[in-house]
Chain A
Amino acid sequence: MLTHANNELLTRTGPGTPMGDLFRRYWMPALLAEELPDNDCPPVRVKILSERLVAFRDTQGRYGLIDEFCAHRGASLWFGRNEESGLRCPYHGFKFDVTGQCVEVPAEPPGSTFCERVKLTAYPLVKVGEILWTYMGPPEFTPELPEYEFVTVPQEQSFTSKRWQESNWLQALEGGIDSSHVSFLHSSGLRDDPLFKGSVGNVYNLNDLRPHFEVVDVEGGLLIGARRNAEEGNFYWRVTPWVLPNFTMVPPRADHPVHGHFWVPIDDENCWVYTFDYHPARPLTEAELEAMRAGNGVHNEYVPGTYRPLANKDNDYLIDREAQRRGDSYSGVKGIAIQDGSLQESMGPIVDRSKERLVATDVGIVKARHKLREAALALKDSGAVPPGVDTAHQRVRSFATVAPIDVPLEDLAPAATSVRPGVAHVSV
């Protein structure tokens, strides 16, 4: 449960809010690299942390992320002409470079220096992996570039998609932290999905519906361990790392690629869910890539030409009541991503956490809320560098293992969560 004041504190990420200031201390995914495929390609509208921006790739291949609206009289630069190393407003020809600097005002007389004093808000936009990342905070606190493993492995080992979710970022993140729903909501996926099935862990998952949760505090966030019964004398552990503020990894299954998410606020009532799959030790197979592109695993199908899921709230997520009745699908909604998204959106744009009745398996969520609040207030009150900014905190893996019942999570975690380049993740 959260009081109204704390719910507001944790869910609002616009400029000047405590949580907005916290987010602005990290590199955040702003676009997929595929959205700006070529020099001088069409610009893309980007809304992130409630700021309306436009991204473009100029004639020299430089990426820019600038205020969406022309400094002249506020027309959207999404209509702009991306040409000759700048984005030109089609209204009166004002032209801006990737730093937001106005470089030309055609109607000004020869010799005018007016444009030198016109500059739009601009943020750095950098390609790491297949993601274009931005940093929207004070320039003097710009961190090192992200080092999450999914963007540091060779490109053929990683795949990333994104989808629009019509809810606040926090209820989406909380779904990534809470793995107890998997045995219910995603039970059909554990049996059928080509990117999930075949793991012995799935059997433990489906047989033990009352996992015991243990949470380990680490410098960058939390390790959330779900413990289920395995064979006599052993536990099956699934361990989810959460790195502040909005990165989670799903524990792996067998030799399938391991996946995870970034939950990026668009505004307070929408977020982008960046969804990645990678294998630390081998290229993804064509069959795996085909399954991901088709919307299997944690990915999804799209309304053509958009990043909106094909199954969305306007069509009741294409719920199949017959499949639900037959038991083919626990919720009747197809696909793991949309099973999650449909329920998280159903809570409303910003869920009222003052009415919750939480249980012991929510311990990861509860502790994450404490940690987010502490980080936001420590930044506000004393300028403390938030957890997760240090790239060492980002080099972490999820894992799944079977271990004797007398081995505590604290003993399992250090080796199993460490990133070892070229070495496969710990998985059963």
Chain B
Amino acid sequence: MAVKVVVDLDKCLGYANCVADAPEVFEIPEEAMIVRLLQESPGEELRSAVEAAALDCPARAITILD
């Protein structure tokens, strides 16, 4: 079972709380100001980290689909 993660890049402003919460899933590339999704379907073991990332995103840019 995997977690399906979607990031709305129009909403993302690069607060980067997601990177702190789930660095296996989200990163801000060195030259960039907004997030890059490293894996769209991380494993179940990352579910709580991804849920925290979604909760902590001030821009409400992260959605978990399942």
Contact = CB atoms under 8 A, between A and B. Distances in A.
Nearest to B17: A357
Interface in A1-59: 1-6
Nearest to B20: A357
B19 interface: yes
Given A360-B58, A363-B58, A366-B13, A1 B30 contact: no
A358 B33 contact: no
Contact of B33 (A4, A357, A362, A373): A373
Contacts of B49: none
A3 B58 contact: no
| Residue of B15, B17, B19, B28 with highest tally of chain A CB at under 10 A | B15
A363 B30 contact: no
A3 B13 contact: no
A3 B20 contact: no
Contacts of B19: 1
B15 A366 contact: yes
B34 to A, nearest CB: 9
Which of A1, A6, A358, A373 gathers most chain B CB within 10 Å? A1
B3 interface: no
Contacts of A3: 28-32
A369 B17 CA distance: 17
Contacts of B28: 1, 3
A313 interface: no
B16 A363 contact: no
B31 A362 contact: no
Nearest to A367: B13
Contact of B15 (A4, A5, A358, A373): A358
A370 B58 contact: no
A407 interface: no
A295 to B, nearest CB: 36
A362 B15 contact: yes
A5 B31 contact: yes
Given A358-B58, A359-B58, A6 B15 contact: no
Interface in A358-406: 358-360, 362-363, 366-367, 369-370, 373
A3 B28 CA distance: 7
A259 to B, nearest CB: 28
Contacts of A356: 16
Contacts of A366: 13-15
Nearest to A369: B33
Contacts of B13: 363, 366-367, 370
A360 B15 CA distance: 9
Contacts of A370: 13-14, 33
A6 B16 contact: no
B15 to A, nearest CB: 5
Contacts of A6: 31, 33
B65 to A, nearest CB: 23
Nearest to B31: A5
Residue of A366, A369, A373 contacting most chain B CB atoms (<10 Å) = A366
A369 B15 CA distance: 11
Nearest to A9: B31
Interface string B54-66: 0000100000000
Interface of A: 1-6, 356-360, 362-363, 366-367, 369-370, 373
Given A358-B58, A366-B14, A370-B33, 18 more contacts: A1-B14, A1-B20, A3-B28, A3-B31, A5-B30, A6-B31, A356-B16, A357-B17, A358-B16, A359-B58, A360-B58, A362-B15, A362-B58, A363-B58, A366-B15, A369-B33, A370-B13, A370-B14
7 contacts: A1-B19, A3-B29, A358-B15, A359-B58, A360-B58, A370-B13, A370-B14
Top 5 nearest A-B pairs (CB, nearest first) are A1-B16, A360-B58, A358-B15, A366-B13, A5-B30
